[in-house]
Amino acid sequence: MYQSPRHYFETRLRPASDPMTAAARLASSGLHADYVVYENGGTWSYAGGALAEITLDRTGTRLRHEEEVLLPWNGRPLQQVQNLLDAVQIKDWRAYGWAAFELSYAKDGDVRHIGDQRLLHLVVPHTEVRIEAGEAYLRSADQATLSAALDVLAAEHTEPRAVPDPVDVRQAGADAYRRAVGVAVDAINGRRLQKVIFSRVVPVDHELDFVGTYLAGRRGNSPARSFLLSLGGIEATGFSPEIVVQVAPDGRVVSQPLAGTRALTGDRAEDDRLRAELLTDPKEIYEHAISVKIACDELLEVCAPDTVDVEEFMVVKERGTVQHLASRVGGQLAEGRRAWDAFKAVFPAVTASGVPKDAAYDSIRSNESEARGLYSGAVLTVDHTGAMDATLVLRSVYRQNGRTWLQAGAGIVGQSRPERELEETCEKLGSVGRFLVPAAEPVGVGADAMAGGTRP
C-alpha cells in the first residue's frame, strides 16, 4: 500500500465474489451511511462517504471540503458546480451523485417552478472501489477503512437467493392516468406541443431491502446502466434503459434516445411479433423520430460544426420486461465546452420530458400531482479528466421520508390512446415491481452477518 497525495491510500485484490455481488456487499456492510453503486459496462463502482460534497438548491451551490464554500444563486447553477469541482484538491478525483428532474426548470437560472428541494448532490467519496476484469481497485482516506473494505471483499460466503414479493402495478392512479393522456392528446392536437411524457406513481406499502432488490432486479434485467444509492436522504435502486449523456476525456459526446415500446413476454414468437409491430407502428416511429431530432438539435448547441451525427438509428434494444426503439447520437464538443455544458444541453432526456421541452414542463407540472425528484433525473459520475457518464433514472424504486414507491411514464403523441399508454406504464413497472425483496426476507449479501456490519 502507498499514500496518494491528498488523503487516499490504495490497494488491489481479486474479490471472492462476482463484481455485482461484491459492490452490493460493500453497500450493505455499514462502512458508510451514504453510498452510490454504479454499473457502467463491465465495471461496478462503489463510492462511500464523502471527502468533498457539492449540493445545489435554489439558494445556490455549496461545497463542503476542507472548508465550506457557498456560491449564492447567480442564474448559472451548472457553471457553479463545475467551478466548485475545479476547486476540489483531491488527486484524480471522481464524483458520484444524482440530479433531480426539477433541475431542468432551473438550469437556465429561473427558480419560479422549484421549491426548497435539493436539485443536485455529488460526492467525491471517502472510499472508492472499482471492480472490473476480476480485480478490485480500492482507495480510501484512511487505512482502517481501506482494511475493512478489503475484509468485506475477501470474505467467502454463500449467497441464498431472496424471494421477491411483487406488487400490483395496474391499479394505482390508472383512471387519473387515462384522463391525463386524453388531456395531453388534446393539447398536442391543438398544436400546443408535439410530445409529452406523463408518469404515474405506484405506492409500495411494505418495507424493502434495497440491496436485495438490486441483486434480484439486476439478474432479471438487461440495463444500459444500473445503480444502488443512499445519498442525501434518498434511497433508490434502478435498471436504467438509456444514458442521458456520456462525455469522453477527449470531448466526444454521446446521447442515446429510446422511445417506442412493446412488451417482452418471454415467448419468443410473441416477442418477435411485437418487435415487428414496434418497427412498423406509425405512432411509435413518429415518437422516436422527433426524439432523435431533438437530441441532435441539443448537441448542435455545444458541439463543433459538422460533428453531430446519428451513429445508430431505430434499432431494437431489449431492456428487462420491454423492448424499445433506440438510436445513438454523437458529436465532438466545441472548443471551450466541457462535460457540464453537454449535460445542460440535453438534460432532462427528451424521452422523459417531451417536445418542445418548455411546453412539456408546463404540461407535466399541470397534470402530475407531485414533483418528480429523482425519477427521470440522472445518476451520474464525473471526474478530473473531464469524463462524464449520466444515466436516465427510470425502472427504479425509491424511498424518501418513510415513503416507498415506483414510478413510470409513457410518451404521448397525437396518435396515442389512453389504454395503450397505461399498458405501457405497466410493462415498464414490471421491470422493477416483480423484483421487490421485502426487508424481512433473508436477502443473502444484504444480511448483516454476510458483510460483518449493519445496514446504514
The catalytic residues are 242
Give the Cβ contact number of residue 311 at 10 Å.
11
